[in-house]
Amino acid sequence: MSVLLETKDLTVTFGGLNANNHVDLKVDSGSFVGLIGPNGAGKTTFIDAITGFVPTSAGSATFGGQDLSELKPHQRAQLGLVRTFQSLELFEDLSVRDNLLVAAYPTRWYTLLQDIFYVKQKKNDVEEKVDWALEVAGIAHQADILPTDLPHGQRKLVGVARALAAQPNLVLLDEPAAGLDTAESNSLGTHLRDLLKHDITVFLIDHDMGLVLSVCDYIYVMDFGKIIAEGTPSEIRTNPEVISAYLGEEAGEIQARSAEELRDMTIEGNE
């Protein structure tokens, strides 16, 4: 497996506070990697940094072997490095489908002329991508509503679908399960594992330990901007540092066990 995303010593500073502190992290293509950590640990900042939304003060990030530092956010997105937002950030006055279409159409120099002369776009692969993304997120029946008219959980899914519509190589999901109930969260997990079959690598942030432990192949744990542990779910589950920093010992045990059950369920569901 080749390395898709790699950061070395990545550091982000907000007025003296190191929100990301020398982060070394690797995502192999075709894998499902998780990042967990308590609130304020710097997880969102990490996504912001590699997608170009906050400047980094030190370190480097490469994507598919290409150095990202000189690229603007939209250029990184066009490379296939696509994110969702913890705070949703949907286009509130576009329909759900249009939200996805914004991300799905590639930019061409002749787009302006094409639009002005209204060159009819027949049902093309772009529209198919959108339909597929709606399907995966399970919101196909709501494609023509405004996002404001959806309940919170489904709005989250619109954000995920919009990222998928761009046909990313790597999708960075910032707490997609927050605000979902357990059932929704489980079904989201199943769908997300399906993405691997479509050649989409997934990087999942969540502080729902259960979800992350159940769907990820490899997990990083962040606290105070630093990576404090990494490993497979079973290693993380038993890592004493993680347990003390993040879980509290007992709670960790319980959550880890329920995660195991959940994982069994999802894998069964997949097959």
Partner 1 sequence: MDVLFGAFAGLGAGAVFAILGVGLVVAYRGSGVINFAHGAVAAYTAFTWDELRNTTHGAYVKDDGGSIFLPWFDPIPEWGFLKALHINNLPVEIYIMNDPPVWLAALLSLAMAAFIGFLMHIMVFRPLRNAPLLAKVIGSVGVMLYLQSVANLNFGGANRADNGFWEFTSTNEPIRNFLGMDRNLAGSTLYLAVAALIIGTATWALYRFTRFGLATRAADENEKGATLLGYSPQLLAGLNWVISSVLAGAIGILFIHRAGPPTFILFVVPALAAALVGSLTSIMGALAGGFGIGMIASMGVNATSYDWWPEWLPSDGVRTFAPVLVMILVLYFRGDRLPIRGTVGVGRQPRAPFAKHPLVGLGIGIGIVVLMSNIFTANWESTLTTTLLSIMFMLSLTVLVGFLGQISLVQWSLAGFACWTLIRLSADGTKIRAMDFLAIDGPGWPDPLAALAAIIAAVILGVLISIPALRIRGVQLAVVTLAAVVAIEDLLLRNEPLMGAGAATTNPTPDPNWFGVEVGALDEKTFRTDYWKYTIFALIFVAIGGLIVANLRRGILGRRFLAIRSNERAAAAAGVDVARTKMIGFGVSSLLAGMAGILVAYKVPVITSEYFNPFVGLGFLAFVYLGGITTVWGAIFGGLLAAGGIISEFGSLHFEGITQAYINAVGAIGLVINAIVTNGEGVALMLTNRSKEMTGVMRGTSSSPNEVSGSIDANTQEVS
Ligand X SMILES: Nc1ncnc2c1ncn2[C@@H]1O[C@H](COP(=O)(O)OP(=O)(O)O)[C@@H](O)[C@H]1O
Q: Which residues pair with 223 in a beta bridge?
A: 226
Which position has the token pair 């930019």? 107
Query: What's the token pair of residue 231?
Result: 């490993």
Per partner kind, with CB cut-offs from 5 to 8 A, the member of ligand X, partner 1, Mg ion, none near residue 78 is partner 1
CA angle 107, 109, 112 (to 5 degrees): 90
Residue 25 makes contact with ligand X by CB under 6 A: no
| Binders in 156-175 for Mg ion, by CB under 5 A | none
Cα–Cα nearest to 40, from 55, 18, 25, 56: 18
Beta-carbon contacts of 198 under 8 Å, excluding residues fewer than 6 positions away, are none
- The Cα–Cα gap between 114 and 121 comes to 9
How near is the Cβ of 166 to partner 1 at its closest, in Å? 6
Per partner kind, with CB cut-offs from 5 to 8 A, the member of partner 1, Mg ion, ligand X, none near residue 72 is partner 1
H/E element, 202: strand 201-205
Residue 86 makes contact with Mg ion by CB under 5 A: yes
Instruction: Kindly list the residues in this chain that would bind partner 1 in the complex (CB under 8 A).
Output: 44, 48, 51, 53-54, 72-75, 77-78, 82-83, 85, 87, 89-95, 98-99, 101-103, 105-107, 111-112, 114-118, 144-146, 149, 162-163, 166
Residue 19 makes contact with ligand X by CB under 6 A: yes
Residue 2 makes contact with ligand X by CB under 6 A: no
Q: How many residues does the chain have?
A: 271
How near is the Cβ of 227 to ligand X at its closest, in Å? 12
How near is the Cβ of 128 to partner 1 at its closest, in Å? 16
> Which residue number, 146 or 196, has a Cβ lying nearer to partner 1?
146
Piece of 38-46, 71-79, 91-99, 144-152 that binds ligand X (CB under 6 A): 38-46
Count of beta carbons in the 10 Å neighbourhood of residue 96: 28
H/E element, 194: helix 182-195
> Which residue number, 83 or 193, has a Cβ lying nearer to partner 1?
83
> Which residue number, 46 or 132, has a Cβ lying nearer to ligand X?
46
Instruction: Note whether 256 and 213 are within 8 A (CB).
Output: yes
Instruction: Note whether 193 and 270 are within 8 A (CB).
Output: yes
How near is the Cβ of 258 to ligand X at its closest, in Å? 23
- For 160, half-sphere exposure in the C-beta direction (CA atoms, 13 angstrom radius) is 31
Selected from 21, 44, 201, 266, the binder of ligand X by CB under 6 A is: 44
Instruction: Note whether 242 and 229 are within 8 A (CB).
Output: yes
Selected from 44, 99, 169, 239, the binder of Mg ion by CB under 5 A is: 44
Per partner kind, with CB cut-offs from 5 to 8 A, the member of partner 1, Mg ion, ligand X, none near residue 2 is none
State the residues that interact with ligand X by CB under 6 A.
14, 19, 37, 39-45
**Interacting residues with Mg ion (CB under 5 A):** 44, 86
